[in-house]
Amino acid sequence: MTAPLKKHRGYHAGHPWYYLLGGDIAKPKQILNLVRLGDYRGYAEADIKAADHKHEPKRSSELRKFQRKFEADLKQDLSRYRALVRQLHAERAQEPPREPLQSCNDTHTAMSLKFSHLINDFAHLVYLDDLLSRQGDLFDV
C-alpha cells in the first residue's frame, strides 16, 4: 500500500502552495486510496444518483455511460498530471524553493487543479463501481 498523503507546512495537495513549498507529489494510487478512505463521490454525485434511481435496463445503461465518460476523463487527466509532474521535478531541480516565498507559478497552480480533477475522476469511478455491482429494479412497482 502506498503512503497516505499528509499536509505540507499547513497545505494539502489541492492547494498550489503545497507544491511551491516542496510538498511530496502524489502518485495516482495514493490519490485513489485517498478517495477510497473518504466519502466524497465527485461533483456529479447528484446526476449519478438520479441515474441510479431509474429502472433497468435504463439504469445500467446510464451508469455505464457515466463510467465511460469518467474513464476517458481519468485517462486524459492522468496524462496531463504526469506531464506536470515531470515539469515540476525539472523546475525543482533547476531552482529549489527559497524563503521568502512570494507567489506560486503556473505549474504549482496546474498541479493543484489536476490533483483535484483526479480526485473527482476517481470519486466518480469508485461510486459507479459500487452502484454497478448491485442489481437495479427490473420492474416499475
pTM: 0.88
Q: Place 27 in a pLDDT band, splitting at 50, 70 and 90.
A: very high
Is residue 1 domain-resident? no
Provide the grid cell at 87: 515539469
Domain that holds residue 76: 13-133
Tens of pLDDT, residues 39-57 = 999 999 999 999 999 999 9
Is residue 3 domain-resident? no
Provide the domain count of the chain. 1
Tens of pLDDT, residues 67-96 = 999 999 999 999 999 999 999 999 999 987
Is residue 44 domain-resident? yes
Is residue 125 domain-resident? yes
Distance CA 26, CA 3 (A): 9
Is residue 8 domain-resident? no
Residue 139: what pLDDT?
62
Is residue 141 domain-resident? no
Distance CA 65, CA 86 (A): 32
Average of per-residue pLDDT values in the chain? 90
